[in-house]
Amino acid sequence: MAEDEVATQASWDQEVAEVPGVISVELLGGEYVALVERDRLYDVALVLRDDPRFGFEQMMDLCGVDWPERALRFDVVVNLLSVSRNRRLRLIVHTDETLPVPSVHTVWPASTWWERETWDLFGVLFSGQPDHRRILTDYGFEGHPLRKDFPLSGYVEVHYDTTRQQVVYAPVELPQEFRNFDFESPWEAMVSLPGDEKAERGKP
């Protein structure tokens, strides 16, 4: 990378860090990552989209990450793309089960789908989101399956009841028949091997 490009990139990094609501900016894995105050996410999003220095016209993705050991256990991750400037930026906001994150669906309309998905799978609330419905799980689903404390087997199982001719929800049951385990080696259990009878024929 040329020296002038490095200088331009460094100044752009500083400009992002100076946006009100941005806590810090660092370079991770070749991409800039900005930690943003939860309540200021909407304001930061507007600046990053409309300010000609940044020009992030597209939101490429919005997702969640669960860190159960933290008090603010969830990261809401927003991946942005500036087509005009060929740059990418990742925004990260910390939250928990009760603190809502400002919706950015009026900044990038496509975010409605991802905000619904993050709510469905992690239980993260988005204030100002008019369509807070599940999008991947069923309407009667309990819990949020991408939380790390969600059981792998889930809470309910679904099957089609031929007698009632409808889909039935029931508590998860994992029945297992009794099995008698034999821990002997198969070689120790064999008292004779195929071909031993030939050796016995020649004995007096």
Low-confidence residues of the chain, pLDDT below 50? 1-7
Q: Domain span at residue 157?
A: 3-201
CB 80 within 8 A of CB 59: yes
- CA-to-CA dists, residue 107 to 43, 44, 97, 131, 151, angstroms: 10, 10, 24, 15, 36
Closest CA to 116 of 178, 124, 30: 124
pLDDT score at 1: 47
pLDDT score at 100: 96
pLDDT score at 115: 96
pLDDT score at 185: 67
Give the bridge partners for 64, in sequence order.
76
- CA-to-CA dists, residue 3 to 6, 7, 32, 38, 157, angstroms: 5, 6, 19, 35, 60
pLDDT score at 186: 66
pLDDT score at 183: 66
Q: What is the mean pLDDT of the chain?
A: 86
pLDDT score at 55: 94
CB 115 within 8 A of CB 41: no
Whole-model pTM? 0.75
pLDDT score at 177: 66
CATH of the domain at 93: 3.30.460.80
Q: Indicate the pairing of strand 101-102 with strand 126-127.
A: parallel
Domain count, the chain: 1
- CB 166: neighbour CB atoms within 10 A? 8
- CB 74: neighbour CB atoms within 10 A? 23
Closest CA to 21 of 45, 56, 51, 55: 45
CB within 8 Å of 192: residues ≥ 6 apart = none
